[in-house]
Chain A
Amino acid sequence: MVFVLVSQIRFILLQNRQGKTRLAKYYVPLEDSEKHKVEYEVHRLVVNRDPKFTNFVEFRTHKVIYRRYAGLFFSMCVDITDNELAYLECIHLFVEILDHFFSNVCELDLVFNFHKVYLILDEFILAGELQETSKRAIIERMGELEKQE
């Protein structure tokens, strides 16, 4: 049985300029080979775009909203009808949280702490839905989780 799940966010990708994926979270079921293809295509789409261009590109029948921070591209795939500006803010919020958590985050932090990055992401987005929009609240929660470890 195949379920067609409608999800606000379909996937989130963090990729560097060379196309290496630093984080991939999918909110819809995809095979491994499909994931590979998707990541390759998204990378090709965003890496060649001029910084002066819009942050929204069409991707298959959806939309990818992306932004580049230093050497990393943060991409979110959403529905065509979704509010682009809102998701741009969402990406920015995620980056701010990572920055706070890792104190001036750099790519290497994400590489060596990938499970923590998933943790943060999960606090803030569940089932493709944005849960928490307050930076403070997420950081507090992460602090509590840290204490447990």
Chain B
Amino acid sequence: MASPPPLPSSTSVLSSASSLADSLFQRSLDDLIKSVRSDPSSEPSIIARSLSEIRREIRSSDPLTKSIALQKLTYLSSLHFHSMSFAAFHTLELLPSPSPQTKRLAYLAASLSFHPSTTELLPLATHQLHKDLTSLSTSSSSSSFPFLPSLPLHLLSLASSADLSSHLAPDLVPLLSRSSPLQPKAVAATYRVLSLCPSTVPVLFKPLVDCLSSDNPLTVSAAVGAFCELSAPPNDPAPYLPLAPEIYRVLVNSRSNWTLIKALKIFSRLVPLEPRLGTRIVEPLSKFLRESQAKSLVLECIKTVVSCLPTHTEAMRLAIDKIKELLSSDDDPNLRYLGLQTLGMLAPGHLWALEESREVVAQSLTDPDRSICHEALRVMMAMTLQENSIESCTLLVRQAAKSDPEFANEILDSVLTSCSKDFYELVVDFDWYVSLLGEMARIVHCTKGDEISRQLVDIGLRVRDARPELVRVARELLIDPSLLGNHFLYNVLSAAAWISGEYVEFSKDPMELVEALLQPRTSLLPTSARAVYIQSVLKVLTFSCNSHIDESSSLVNDTVIARMLSLIEMTVGPLAESEEAEVEDRVRNLLGVVRLVANIKDLSGDKDKDGMIYEVVRVMDALFSDEMGPVSANAQKKVSVPEDLDLKDNLADLSEFISDNDAAMSRSNPSILFYPQSCNASEEVEVGPTSVAESTSLKEHRKRHGLYYLSTDKETTEPELTEDYPRVNETLPLSNGDTTRRVKVTKLRPTVVKLDEGEDLATSSSLSTKVEAMKDDPLSGAIKDVLLGKKGNGASSSFDASSSSQGKGKDKVKGKEIKSKKGEEGESKDRHKGRRKHKHRKEPAPPVSVAQETPVIQDFLL
């Protein structure tokens, strides 16, 4: 393999005497590479040494030395990640070099290392770039270097800034207009320039559009590609709608698969905006699907048909057949992957097709290739409906248990998200789902503890009928000592504890529960979880005592209670000195209650003595017997202000009062809040603003205005006031879940308490469309101007670069354009618009041409 002679060393011999000495000592690129490769272990030091050499050499005045140094630096920088920015100026110095090799080198270095954000010197290159771009028109260098403009084109496309682009845009126009090997390159550079600098649109857009009709297929391909990129999301595809006829022509005539693919992509963005286009392209699409041998083209056709033309049954049938073909290619994993991907695109409109391939999808879940598994998972989730949710989810969870950690968590994540969507829309049998949640928590690599615990509690709050099953699942989780060591599960365990405490009435064995909640290994739990555990113990104890008094439960008798009490005392006692406030707090509460009821000896005993204890127990039980329900996000808004309550006035009074007090007082104002005086299920009722320092004037004020400030004491409650405020936990008027939907399901779907419909619907979609509309508005606006303005001008008009008149024209025309884009393009409107635009420039074409042009579009679409 004879490689061409390494260029630096051969030319360096021919250099002038003065630099001979230099170059003899300068190492060439080859030398550098060889030395770097010679000793891998000392590579960093060799590179460092070379870099310092290069720094020295590059400052030399001899261009050859410089260029060799630059070449070496380029090598080091691109492959060994060293910043080249110190050489930026030298690179610029070499750009004007007459020697093509040096020029090429300099441009390469520039395109690899320049960027507007890192190189402030970029504007200095403007003149040189301008010279090089227009070199073909000057006779001097055109013969020796016919492809010279391609160099600056590359640089422009990679490293340009908005300023540079706007200065050089006019130079691109002759390159775009003349059919030459450079034309496709110019097109590619143009698209970059356009997206960087929308103000160049008037200059560049028309030549770009003309390239679509060029004889050179490469130019056409490049132009289609450029429009494909310009219309890609997040940009707005609407301005390119008028180009549809030309692109259609390309679609029908082009022989190149690449071009066809890009044209199809553009159509896939335009068809949603103009459904009539869909009817036009169905025919060529179907032809491709039937006849083309190129799998890439077939793939693109499938994607286009499925995403844009779902109503054209014939085309869909063809597409679905092809998808099945892809899925069944056992020998080529790429095709199978693509089959799965396109299959997923068929949901939700054509689920029957997905169902037919269920086997293949299920099998692909177990494929060793991660990419295929992912796609299969996506398709499975898309296929899951209420009817088959049990089957699908069980299968998936079972698969998760067998998979590696990453994929297992992905599966769990998708099952959790889709089942909880729309307030558990997919779940019909909550008992099954709850036990599935428990199963999920036990999967070895599960990291979704947060979501699982959230859902467990959420279901407990919303679905009454599921509570017994929840308690059962919770019990199993709590009893198992091995789970306590797993730090991913502690929030699941605290959810389980909360459920057991809250719904203890469904528990079969409270004693066992208490034992589980107090087992020794619970010391491994973090504070938050322990706090919940202890609180639950309190709830269970209260319940047991109460049921003992009521004699309602056979499980709870004297001995049981006694055992419970002693167990609690023994295990929890030491925690009373715990360092964590949360735990200590609850422990003390618990112990307090324990000591109070410890005196229950005999049920039938002296009522007087035990009377107080009964009372205590009853009150405690009453505390916990309120049902906690979900709180809507809009609950506060729904609280209607009672008529006799005058909010504004009250606070106005206060302000004059507060100004009398010192500054510290007013700063702590925010802590004066309205607390509805309700019996909260949790016993840590925050008793009003405690942080406000009581000064005499404020105390008096409060006494006077006791109506507005709810007192901190229970006794002085104004009863009518509490009635006015709905309690925090009360479930507000709601719409119940649909219980009558699935007739054939044996068990009726339980009621799911939803509060606001659409409470959890993400508002992000609306936000994102807003953002999309904001982005690139200047570009799409500018293009709209040009395209619709162009129709008014007729075929031959010269675009003046006079931006001032353009700017004025833009503003005036814009309003009209938006209207005309939406409706039919009435001839009269266009003519009117055209005439207005003509005011600013010479009148090239009579309005007649306008009338001729618009029917073309309309004919095309009909």
Contact = CB atoms under 8 A, between A and B. Distances in A.
Interface of A: 1-8, 21-24, 27, 29, 32-33, 35-36, 49-50, 52-58, 79, 81, 83-86, 88-89, 102-104, 106, 109, 111-116, 118-119, 122, 126-127, 129-133, 141, 144-146, 148-149
Interface stretch (B294-302, B385-393, B813-821): B294-302
A24 B1 contact: no
A118 to B, nearest CB: 6
B1 A104 contact: yes
Contacts of B147: 144-145
Nearest to B775: A4
Contacts of B256: 133
Given A29-B115, A32-B81, A54-B337, A86 B296 contact: yes
Contact of B188 (A1, A112, A131): A131
Interface SS, A side: mixed
A112 B3 contact: yes
Interface stretch (B238-246, B364-372, B665-673, B824-832): B364-372
Contact of B154 (A35, A83, A122): A122
Given A6-B235, A54-B371, A85-B296, A109 B225 contact: no
A5 B232 CA distance: 11
Given A102-B3, A115-B108, A145-B147, A1 B333 contact: no
Interface stretch (B191-199, B535-543, B789-797): B191-199
A103 B4 CA distance: 12
28 contacts: A3-B195, A6-B232, A8-B225, A8-B228, A22-B79, A29-B159, A32-B81, A53-B333, A53-B368, A53-B372, A54-B333, A54-B371, A56-B334, A56-B337, A57-B371, A81-B265, A84-B338, A85-B296, A86-B257, A106-B1, A109-B3, A112-B6, A115-B71, A129-B188, A129-B191, A130-B225, A131-B185, A148-B100
B274 to A, nearest CB: 20
**Most chain-B CB neighbours within 10 Å: which of A21, A49, A127?**
A127
A104 to B, nearest CB: 7
Given A109-B1, A109-B3, A148-B145, A86 B192 contact: no
Interface string B72-109: 00110011011100000000000000001100110010
A112 B33 CA distance: 7
Closest 4 CB pairs of A and B: A85-B296, A127-B157, A53-B369, A86-B296
A130 B224 CA distance: 11
Contact of B258 (A36, A133, A141, A146): A133
Contacts of B369: 49-50, 52-54
Interface in B176-205: 181, 184-185, 188-189, 191-192, 195-196
B367 to A, nearest CB: 9
Contact of B189 (A24, A57, A126, A144): A126
B422 interface: no
A127 B78 CA distance: 18
Given A54-B334, A130-B225, 20 more contacts: A1-B116, A5-B195, A21-B79, A32-B83, A53-B368, A53-B369, A53-B370, A54-B333, A57-B370, A58-B371, A84-B299, A86-B300, A103-B1, A106-B1, A114-B75, A115-B75, A122-B154, A129-B188, A129-B225, A133-B221
B583 to A, nearest CB: 43
B229 A52 contact: no
B200 to A, nearest CB: 14
B295 A85 contact: yes
Interface string B35-56: 0010000000000000000000
Nearest to A52: B333
Contacts of A115: 71, 74-75, 105, 108
B37 to A, nearest CB: 8
A133 B184 CA distance: 12
A84 B847 CA distance: 48
A132 B337 contact: no
B74 to A, nearest CB: 7
Contacts of A148: 100, 145
Interface residues of B, number: 75
B188 A88 contact: no
**Most chain-B CB neighbours within 10 Å: which of A1, A112, A116, A131?**
A131
Contacts of A53: 333, 368-372
B153 interface: yes
Nearest to A35: B81
A79 B336 CA distance: 20
B30 interface: yes
A85 B301 CA distance: 13
Contacts of A112: 3, 6, 30, 33
Interface string B309-344: 000000000000000000000000110111000000
Contacts of B234: 4, 6
A132 B150 CA distance: 14
Nearest to B374: A58
Interface in B564-604: none
Nearest to B184: A131
B222 A111 contact: no
A84 B334 contact: yes
A21 B261 CA distance: 31
A4 B234 CA distance: 10
Contacts of B188: 126-127, 129, 131
B253 interface: no
**Most chain-A CB neighbours within 10 Å: which of B108, B145, B258?**
B258
A24 B296 contact: no
A141 B185 CA distance: 14
Contact of A83 (B37, B159, B300, B372): B300
B407 to A, nearest CB: 13
A102 B82 CA distance: 28
A23 to B, nearest CB: 8
A85 to B, nearest CB: 4
Contacts of A57: 370-371
Contacts of B370: 53, 57
B158 interface: yes
A46 to B, nearest CB: 12
Interface in B134-157: 145, 147, 150, 153-154, 157
Contacts of B157: 126-127
Contacts of A126: 153-154, 157, 184-185, 188-189
A116 B100 CA distance: 14
B81 A8 contact: no
B486 interface: no
A115 B33 CA distance: 13
